[in-house]
Amino acid sequence: MAKPIVFSGIQPTGRKHLGNYIGAIRQYVEGQERGEPAIFCVVDLHAISVAYDPAELRERLYDTIAILLAAGLDPERCILCRQSDVREHSEMTWLLSAVTSHGDLNRMTQFKDKSAKQELVSAALFFYPVLMAADVLAYRATEVPVGDDQRQHVELMREIARRFNERFGEALVVPEMRIPEVGARIMDLQEPERKMSTTGGTEPGTVLVLDEPETIRKKIGSAVTDSGREILHDRQDKPGITNLIEILAAIRGQSSAEIEADAKPLGYGAFKDTVATEVVDYLTPVRERFAELRPQEDVLEAILATGAEKARAIAAPVVADVRERMGFGPA
């Protein structure tokens, strides 16, 4: 059986948190073994769809690359690139806009949510899902590892590919999304009805990948729990304790039911201590490796340059095929 072509992108905005790590970054590390090739892209073009600072964008990009490498991505076993270095992403976006419905874009939940927080609602924010489709379809990727919040965007991506193929011939692959069964949606520790986030969440409820051990222990120790003393996986009535169960399940690679059974004799305090200890152990090697890698910006740039060259070698023929089918260039 042929290996999948894996593509996924990660934004360089914000500081990476536990939800990013469990829901996306860990999937990348596993995906580099499964994909042939596995392409992972820091999507800096997506980052400019909302208000941003150029200097901070560069800094966060290097932070993100260093975290990906610290987590276990190996440039010898995958393609690691910066989106803006591969111009095929931009061209493919415009070409695919011809088969993208304005109505579909207008229904995107993330556009509605993000636009409400922006003083200037940019056309780039509206077009975000088309660029995301271009990111994947330009490589004829067969598998897209994403968090649960990206489900709507991937469904639109699949529809765009189908529409293109129906109109211009079978040039694009309709990709499958891959969402982790456990840990797909890690919630804020203080507001467990909301997803963990560095932009829309609470500071004490967001565990950062680079947090010091004592900071992690403090955040988890003060996590909101629920009435009663039982440790039960019940998202409706016990969202706080359910979130902690799912974090531990993701770290251990167990089901929520197994965590619940193991934790039954424990009270909330002891269970929080267990979660905190295992989160610290889980993130410490990444934090320490990051500290070694992050200062080496010349090394990070060399990795990105090599990755861009490899990425363009795959994407350029696909975009050329799309252009030809759409009527561009000589007959």
As a whole number of angstroms, the distance between CA 11 and CA 83 comes to 10
pLDDT for position 182: 58
Residue 196 lies in a domain: no
Q: Which residue has the higher pLDDT, 220 or 265?
A: 220
Q: Taking 90 as the threshold, does the pLDDT of residue 264 lie above it?
A: no
pLDDT in tens, 103-115: 999 999 888 888 8
**Residue 121 and residue 256 in one domain:** no
Residues 73 and 126 in one domain: yes
Q: Are residues 175 and 312 in the same domain?
A: yes
Mean pLDDT of 50-60: 93
In a domain, 193, yes or no: no
Q: What are phi and psi of 49, to 5 degrees?
A: -75, -10
215 contact partners, CB below 8 Å, separation of at least 6? 208
- Same domain? 255 vs 119: no
Query: Are 171 and 237 in the same domain?
Result: no
- pLDDT of 181 reads 66
Average pLDDT, stretch 39-44? 96
Residue 201 within a domain: no
| Domain co-membership, 121 together with 161 | yes
pLDDT at 76: 94
Tell me: do 12 and 116 sit in the same domain.
Answer: yes
Residue 122 predicted with pLDDT over 60: yes
Confidence at residue 1, expressed as pLDDT on a 0 to 100 scale: 67
301 shares its domain with 318: yes
Same domain as 264, residue 303: no
Is the pLDDT at 183 greater than 60? The verdict is no
Same domain for 300 and 287? Answer: no
Residue 189 has pLDDT above 80, yes or no: yes
**Total domains present in the chain:** 2
Q: Which domain holds residue 106?
A: 6-183+296-326
Q: Does a structural domain hold residue 247?
A: yes
166 has a pLDDT exceeding 80: yes
Q: How confident is the model at residue 184 (pLDDT cuts 50, 70, 90)?
A: low
Please write the tens of the pLDDT for every residue from 207-254: 999 999 999 999 999 999 877 778 888 888 889 999 999 999 999 989
Find, among 175, 184, 181, 180, the residue nearest to 5 by Cα. 175
Asked if residue 152 is part of any domain, the answer here is yes
pLDDT value of position 145: 85
pLDDT surpassing 80 at residue 149:
no
User: CB of 252 within 8 A of CB of 26?
Assistant: no
Residue 127, pLDDT score:
94
What b/e string do you get for 35-53 counting C-beta neighbours within 10 Å, with b at 16 or more?
bebbbbbbbbbbbebbeee
Domain CATH number, residue 259: 1.10.240.10
| Residues 35, 116 within the same domain | yes
Under the banding of pLDDT at 50, 70 and 90, the label for residue 178 is confident
Is 116 a residue whose pLDDT tops 60?
Answer: yes
The mean per-residue pLDDT over the stretch 42-67 comes to 94
Long-range contacts for 222-226 (Cβ within 8 Å, ≥24 apart)?
222/189, 222/190, 223/189, 223/190, 223/272, 224/189, 224/190, 224/191, 224/192, 225/268, 225/272
Query: Residue 123 sits in a domain of what CATH number?
Result: 3.40.50.620
Within a domain: 188: no
Q: Are residues 229 and 242 in the same domain?
A: yes
The pLDDT tens digits of the residues spanning 282-320 come to 999 999 999 999 999 999 999 999 999 999 999 999 999
| Residue 93 near residue 46, CB atoms below 8 Å | no
